[in-house]
Amino acid sequence: PFLLTSKMALSQVNYDESKVPPLHLPSIFISEKGKVINSKEEWESIRKPEIFRLFESEVYGQIPKDLDQVSFEVIERLDHEFNSIAKLEEVDIKIQLGDRSHSMRLNLLLPKETDGPFPIILLINHRDPEEDESLAEEGYWPVAELIERGFATASFHAGTVAPDDTIRYMNGILNNLYPEQKEQSDGLKALGAWGWGAMRAMDYFEQHQAIDSKKSILVGHSRSGKAALWASANDPRWAITYSNESGCGGAALSKRKFGETVEIINTRFTHWFAENFRKYNSAEESLPLDQHMLPALIAPRAVYYASAKADQWADPKGEYLGLQIGSEVFSQIYEKESPFKTTWEELNGPVSSNTLGYHIREGEHNLTWEDWEIFLAFAKKSLGI
Ligand code: GTR
């Protein structure tokens, strides 16, 4: 899908299961000092903060939490395509920190029929609807269907916090609010910035009378799915996190080196991950963590993954295994039963409990109505609606 440099010849991209190295994953339950973690208290006070810090320093970089003030300027618009069923709020969220400030745009649609409060679905969007007119048809953000099912739904464009560009990514919150992060090897990068954007959207939902922010769902596809997972690990306000085909650096285990690898992603997308992540280019064995630990950081809140069969670049098996192994924190620490009883090879149709779920569908890399439909059945069950 892109030009590989001579150092990373195409032949190095592995799609052969028999060539996947034996998996030696760092244990979720053994602390850095070698203590075996048995209880919720030990998990939350010892191991969970250790793992969080590892992801922050070695993979994604920090998401700064400091800000002085968040304010909202809302324009209610009537001239939009969903006017017969939904109210549209265009929200400019303004964040101030000392004498610095940044504004980001959020679009929120609320069902018109009743007053709510409505459960809320936020989509982090890195695709441009103006350049990509097929978006609505495919179901990437199926506003009408979500509204008809009684959800409020919102979306912000990734570029409103950090442009998705190797050079221009700083022209957002990095330059405007957190310039000191640019000098740090574990400093904020684009994926973290998009996660930060989701937090500011949540700030708006929390004070909105027509929104039930306790019934909140954060959704991201692919690169935005990576951001959604990291956002939710940083922000306990999300009830459900749905990562669609987020692959390398998201749902999939890096140490399998199947499809996209750490080196490839760090070389093509130098603006996504912390600088420290580059230490693991072609050296996944030395990673002190892997992506099975990311859903563990979100536990006991609900986590859902989806894959597509033709999306081998994102390593569907590595995505399933990551969630399956990570689900041990849900079952062993929080007594939430894991639905992932079957091996990958025996998997046959969507599997879910109230807290965890997974599906794989036919077809290519995309977020489609089919994905939403299967996911929404899980979401309703999980939220009890
Ligand atoms: C690809 C990238 C993946 C994934 C995808 C997307 O080019 O290699 O990691 O993020 O883009 O966002 O659609």
Full pLDDT tens readout for the chain, 385 residues: 455 554 555 557 999 999 999 999 999 999 999 999 999 999 999 999 999 999 999 999 999 999 999 999 999 999 899 999 999 999 999 999 999 999 999 999 999 999 999 999 999 999 876 666 665 667 999 999 999 999 999 999 999 999 999 999 999 999 999 999 999 999 999 999 999 999 999 999 999 999 999 999 999 999 999 999 999 999 999 999 999 999 999 999 999 999 999 999 999 999 999 999 999 999 999 999 999 999 999 999 999 999 999 999 999 999 999 999 999 999 999 999 999 999 999 999 999 999 999 999 999 999 999 999 999 999 999 999 9
> How far does CA 224 lie from the centroid of its chain?
6
Closest approach atom of ligand 1 to CA 268: 8
Ligand 1 centre and the CA of 223: distance in Å? 6
Q: Cα(191)–Cα(274) distance, rounded to whole angstroms?
A: 9
Active site residues: 222, 365
Q: Cα(95)–Cα(53) distance, rounded to whole angstroms?
A: 25
Q: Cα(108)–Cα(9) distance, rounded to whole angstroms?
A: 44
Task: Tell me, using a 6 A CB cutoff, whether residue 221 lines ligand 1.
Answer: no
Helix axes 48-55, 223-234, angle to 10 degrees: 140
Compute φ and ψ for 193, nearest 5 degrees. Answer: -65, -40
CB-based contact 145:86 (threshold 8 Å): no
Q: Cα(123)–Cα(120) distance, rounded to whole angstroms?
A: 10
Q: Which two tokens stand for residue 281?
A: 């280019």
Ligand 1 centre and the CA of 286: distance in Å? 24
Closest approach atom of ligand 1 to CA 250: 9
- Among 123, 166, 223, 277, which is best to mutate for testing ligand 1, by the most ligand atoms less than 8 A from CB? 223
Instruction: Put the strands of the sheet holding 351-352 in their side by side order.
Output: 69-77, 86-97, 100-111, 152-157, 118-125, 211-221, 240-244, 302-308, 356-361, 351-352
Q: Cα(379)–Cα(371) distance, rounded to whole angstroms?
A: 12
Closest approach atom of ligand 1 to CA 365: 13
Q: Cα(67)–Cα(70) distance, rounded to whole angstroms?
A: 8
Which residues are within 8 A (CB) of 99 and not within 5 positions of it... i.e. 6 or more apart? none
- Among 219, 313, 364, 368, which is best to mutate for testing ligand 1, by the most ligand atoms less than 8 A from CB? 313
Is the pTM higher than 0.80? The answer reads yes
One-letter amino acid at 285 equals: E
**Going by DSSP bridges, is the β-strand pair 152-157/118-125 parallel, antiparallel, or unpaired?**
parallel
Ligand 1 centre and the CA of 112: distance in Å? 36
Which residues are within 8 A (CB) of 204 and not within 5 positions of it... i.e. 6 or more apart? 72, 91, 93, 106, 108
Q: Which two tokens stand for residue 52?
A: 């969080």
Task: Tell me, using a 6 A CB cutoff, whether residue 190 lines ligand 1.
Answer: no
Closest approach atom of ligand 1 to CA 247: 9
Task: Tell me, using a 6 A CB cutoff, whether residue 247 lines ligand 1.
Answer: yes
Q: Which two tokens stand for residue 58?
A: 């070695």
In 10 A of CB 240, how many CB atoms? Answer: 24
Q: Which two tokens stand for residue 223?
A: 């690169």
Compute φ and ψ for 232, nearest 5 degrees. Answer: -70, -30
Ligand 1 centre and the CA of 221: distance in Å? 9
Atom 10, ligand 1: which residue's CA is nearest? 223
Residue 275: predicted pLDDT: 98
Longest dimension (CA), the chain: 61
CB-based contact 203:108 (threshold 8 Å): no
Residue 1: predicted pLDDT: 43
Residue 2: predicted pLDDT: 52
Task: Tell me, using a 6 A CB cutoff, whether residue 216 lines ligand 1.
Answer: no
Closest approach atom of ligand 1 to CA 248: 9
Among residues 314, 301, 293, which one has the least CA distance to residue 29?
Answer: 293
Task: Tell me, using a 6 A CB cutoff, whether residue 248 lines ligand 1.
Answer: yes
Closest approach atom of ligand 1 to CA 245: 4
Ligand 1 centre and the CA of 190: distance in Å? 13
Ligand 1 centre and the CA of 61: distance in Å? 19
Task: Tell me, using a 6 A CB cutoff, whether residue 265 lines ligand 1.
Answer: yes
Task: Tell me, using a 6 A CB cutoff, whether residue 260 lines ligand 1.
Answer: yes
Residue 5: predicted pLDDT: 56
Ligand 1 centre and the CA of 279: distance in Å? 20
